[in-house]
Amino acid sequence: MEFNSNSGFMYVVVAVVIAFVLLQSVVFFIKAWKRGKELGMDKQALKKTVGSSALFTIAPAFAILLGVIALSNALGFPLPWLRLSVIGSLTYEATAAAAAATAVGSSLSQRITDPKTFAAIAWVMTLGIVPGLVLVPLFGKKIEKGISNIKGKDSKWGQIFLSGLFLGMISAFLGLVFAEVHTGLVGWIPVFVMFASALLMMVCGLIRKALDAKWIEDYALPISLLGGMALSIPITNLVMSLVG
């Protein structure tokens, strides 16, 4: 069977899972609505919750959609569609996909055409999100009762530990950006792009502060990511013309 990450088969597989999760949302919605009526809650208040949640969601949902575009070149549409509408987030999915691609000797810079590579990436992305789906059914009840508290006595160290984990991951990938520098000016392109994207993120931060524009938080990452990607086009062209 000829492999294509945008094949009808892929769309069907992904659509089935997404429909399943959509159905779950509907079932829980109905159950909660009925319960609200049982409790004698004001119907207007319930309706207001639905309306405001829907509004609240629109902006982040578009931000998530931008993530699908970023990953679509390497992975096609269906897989990023699934992973970003169910469970995932852009930070996780992009990192997991990149790590898996390099582990099997490929990269996200071109369309994955080898089904084995594609399957490996799909497996890694899937295995990475297992904990939530296992822990909530197992321990949800206990956690609710407040028996366990992972942060324990030293919650400040808990926070620092978590930041350390993220910084470790980020520094490894930022280091990777410098791996091609030894090849000359062309090898610096990723470094320039990294700085361009970092600059965009800083500008977003400044706008957030200066205008007290909280909305920009949702968009800062997609803006910087897609902005950095867009700027890589003139950067690449400029470097190529310099190198001749």
Site string for another protein, 26-65 (x = CB under 8 A): xxxx-xxx-xx--x-x---xx-xxx-xxx-xxx-xxxxxx
Compute the least distance from the CB of residue 214 to another protein, in Å.
Answer: 10
Q: State yes or no: residue 185 binds another protein (CB under 8 A).
A: no
229 binds another protein (CB under 8 A): yes
Least distance CB 69 / another protein (angstroms)? 6
- Near another protein by CB under 8 A: residue from 112, 113, 131, 186: 131
219 contributes a contact to another protein by CB under 8 A: no
Residues 100-129 touching another protein, rule: CB under 8 A, are 100-105, 108-111, 114-124, 126-129
Q: Are 23 and 15 in contact (CB under 8 A)?
A: no
Q: Report how far residue 3's alpha carbon sits from residue 118's, in angstroms, rounded to the nearest whole number.
A: 9
Closest distance between another protein and the C-beta of residue 242, in Å? Answer: 15
Query: What are φ and ψ of residue 135, in 5° steps?
Result: -70, -35
Residue 40, SS3 per DSSP: coil
Sole residue written with tokens 């099997």: 104
Token pair 């594609």 is found at 118
Could you give phi then psi for residue 109, rounded to 5 degrees? -80, -10
Q: Does 216 bind another protein (CB under 8 A)?
A: no
Give the whole-angstrom CA distance, residue 15 versus residue 243.
46
Residues 69, 58: Cα–Cα separation, whole Å: 17
Positions 132 through 161 that interact with another protein (CB under 8 A): 132-137, 139-141, 143-144, 146, 148-151, 157-158, 160-161
Q: In the bound complex, what is the minimum distance in angstroms from residue 197's beta carbon to another protein?
A: 3
Binding of another protein by 242 (CB under 8 A): no
